[in-house]
Each structure stands twice: as structure tokens, then as C-alpha cells.
Structure 1
Amino acid sequence: MLRHQLNNIKSRITCLLLGFLVATVLSTIPGQTGEWSVIAAAIIITSNEIVSKLVYQAKRQEDIILVIINDIKIGIIYGLFVDAFKLGS
């Protein structure tokens, strides 16, 4: 039982870090030209809302695919906040 919980925690932390990496990529690549910032922000917000709708309307909240996608989404949001604080300082 403890081994299963540790593997679950490890996989969730890995998904959060993957989302953080994706956020870094999403904030740096479109920002190189400065022209794609608005479009990239719209795509990120739209995909975030779609994932939230899928996750929180699901009958079973323990579905592993939905948990992984939600953890990646949370990592992306966290990564974008960290990038915003880096730019603001």
C-alpha cells in the first residue's frame, strides 16, 4: 500500500514538473518575436478551460489519465506564474 502511494506521489510530482517545463517553453518560444504573445495566451487559456471542464465533469475523479492531465495543467499554471514574477522583478 505504501509503495503504491509513493509511486503515485512520484508520478504526480513528475507531471507537475513536466507542466512547469511546458510553461517555460510556452512562454519563451512565442515571446521571441513578440507577435504571437496574444495568440499563445488565448490558446493556453482555452486549453486550460477545456481540460478543467473535462476533469471536473468526469463521473470518476480517480481516472488516471484525467489526474495526469490535471497535474500537467496545474504545473503549466504554476510555471506561468513563476515566469510572470521573474519578468516583474
Structure 2
Amino acid sequence: MNYTSLETIINYLHSYKYKISNKNLNKLSLHILNLLLGFFISTALSTIPGQTGDWGIIGAAMIVAFYEIISQRIYLLETPTRYNSVILQINNIKVGIIYGLFVDAFKLGS
């Protein structure tokens, strides 16, 4: 079976993530990295669409929709599944985004 380049990239990323997750990384360091990734994403979300000024409302709607979808997935979990760690990592990214937006708001307010 011939693989396309997209399938090859996805398989490589999946195997790379599997190798990283099997190492003895401290869970705290992984959570901190996801938090910092969320902070970086919030900086990008607040600066790139703000250049023209007309994308502010659409950007805010996308952030709120992302936030609410992740919150719904997190708080509906009653039994542990194999996706628990992935959802918690996405939750840390979500918290980083909210934290970054608060920091940007304080920078604009001062």
C-alpha cells in the first residue's frame, strides 16, 4: 500500500508523540509546556487579527467556542478513558490561552 506524504507525516508525528509520551517525563513539566503553548497561542490570537481591527469579534467568538467545547468535554468525563490525558493537555492549553488574554488585557489597560 502506498502512503501519501500526508499519511507519512501523520504516522511520523504519531510515532514521535508515542516515543515522547513513553519517556519518563514528569507530568508537571508536560502540563507546564502545554500552559506555555496556550500562552503563545493567545499572544498570536490577540495580535494577528488585531492588525486590521475587523477580526476582533470573530476571533473572540472562536476563542469562546473553543473554550466552551473543551469545558464540555472535560466536565462530562465520569469514567477514565484513554483520552483523559489528551483532554487534560488540551485543558491546560485552554487555561494558558485564558491566562495570556488576561495578561494582554492588563497590558492594554495600563
TM-score over 0.5 for the alignment? yes
Q: Which protein has the bigger helix share?
A: 1
Q: Residues of 1 paired with 2:68 and 2:84: CA distance?
A: 19
Tell me how large the CA RMSD over aligned residues is: 1.6
Deviation beyond 3 Å, 4+ runs, structure 1: none
CA distance in 1, matches of 2:102, 2:36: 14
Query: Aligned-pair distance for 1:13?
Result: 0.3
1:83 aligns with 2:104: yes
What stretches of structure 2 of length at least 5 have no aligned partner? 1-23
Larger radius of gyration: 2
The two structures have a TM-score, normalised by structure 1, of: 0.90
* d(CA) in 1 for partners of 2:32, 2:70: 19
Match of 2:64 among 37, 40, 45: 45
Give the gaps of 5 or more residues in structure 1: none
Superposed CA offset, 1:8-47 (max 9, x none):
0000000000000000000000100000000100110011
Does 1:33 pair with 2:52?
yes
TM-score (structure 2 length as normaliser): 0.73
Q: Work out the CA distance in 1 between the residues paired with 2:60 and 2:31.
A: 25
- Percentage of identical aligned residues: 54
The higher-RCO structure (CA 8 Å, 6+ apart) is 1
